Amino acid sequence: MALKAYMTEAEFQGAQAALGHEAVKAVGVEFAKGEDGNYHPVIEPRDGFALENVKGLQTAIESEREARRKAEAAVKGLGDVKPEDLPTLLDKAKKYDGLAGEQGKLKQQFDEWKAEHAKQLEAQHVEAVRGVEQQRDSYRRQLEHQLITSQATQILADPKVKGNPALLLPIIANLTDTVEEDVDGQKVLRVRVLNPAKPGRERIGKTGGAMTLDELVGELRQDARYASAFEGSGASGAGSAGGSGSADYSGFPAKRGAFSVEQKAKFIHEHGSAAYFKLPD
């Protein structure tokens, strides 16, 4: 029976008797336990011949063969590309990857700039809208003042009324404002008379509808406090030209030139225009 490349533990133990025979020892047969746990014959190299474990070599050869098969498959996948051109192509690919990364950075920077620019535009838009709204409100107040002044002046100039615009316009302005209404598809401003007892609400007139500016002027003309502001009204009362007794003007300037518009309107409202014009300049 031929000598095996190795013996297992059981085989080695079973062969102890035979291995101890003088004949076996005479030919120099000897076994040593290897790292794999098996017993391998100990053979000294002679004239370039030796017994070696070729399992690792076989594994390495198979690995090389597998790598070669993969390389050949990869080369076939390149089509007309020559293997000697691969280094140049790989270099170009690396540069392209670098450009792609740079492009990503540029896109990120662009997105950040775009977001910041959008915020600036939004802030500018808000500021522009605020400016337009402020200008619109200013125009609205100017138009409202002109509309009330124009209509009230026309009513006061009526020969049947004969009101003094200088005295009555500030009073009328404090008792009125304007409201926007839709008339035949057009936005128009209408003068409305305010209700002092209900801020923001308009007064009800004689017909049950909104009080007109004519009705307000007629009401002022019948009020003794404003009688002196109408020519030939003949009314008298507290603060009028026909009144008697000493008046209390505390809280007002001593001279007409020191009056503000609000003080002037309040003074005439409380004491009449005759008392106002009796004050020194």
Asked if the model's pLDDT at residue 82 lies above 80, the reply is no
Buried b or exposed e, range 30-53, using 16+ CB within 10 angstroms: ebeeeeeebbbeeeeeeeeeeeee
pLDDT of 1 reads: 58
Q: Which one, of 207, 204, 233, 208, lies nearest residue 218 by Cα?
A: 233
**Considering the chain, what percentage of its residues have pLDDT values greater than 90?**
24
* Encoded tokens for 69: 């098969």
pLDDT of 176 reads: 94
User: 191 forms bridges with which residues in the sheet?
Assistant: 178
Asked if the model's pLDDT at residue 48 lies above 70, the reply is no
Whole-angstrom CA distances from 179 to 144, 176, 190 are 9, 10, 5
Interatomic CA distance for residues 32 and 34, integer angstroms:
6
In degrees and rounded to multiples of 5, residue 254 shows phi and psi of -80, -25
Mean pLDDT of 60-66: 86
pLDDT of 24 reads: 63
Mean pLDDT of 16-45: 73
Q: How many residues does the chain have?
A: 281
Q: H or E element: which one contains 154?
A: helix 86-156
Interatomic CA distance for residues 69 and 150, integer angstroms:
103
Mean pLDDT of 51-60: 70
Interatomic CA distance for residues 161 and 230, integer angstroms:
7
Interatomic CA distance for residues 178 and 213, integer angstroms:
11
Mean pLDDT of 11-36: 73
pLDDT of 150 reads: 93
Whole-angstrom CA distances from 231 to 62, 122, 127, 135, 152 are 127, 59, 51, 40, 16
Q: How confident is the model at residue 239 (pLDDT cuts 50, 70, 90)?
A: very low
Own/partner pairs, 44-48, CB within 8 angstroms, 24+ separation: none
Interatomic CA distance for residues 221 and 161, integer angstroms:
8
More confident residue, 247 or 215: 215
Mean pLDDT of 257-276: 84
Residues 6+ apart with CB under 8 A from 174: 265
Task: For residue range 166-200, list pLDDT tens digits in order.
Answer: 999 999 999 999 999 988 888 889 999 999 888 88
**Contact in structure between 225 and 238 (CB atoms under 8 Å):** yes
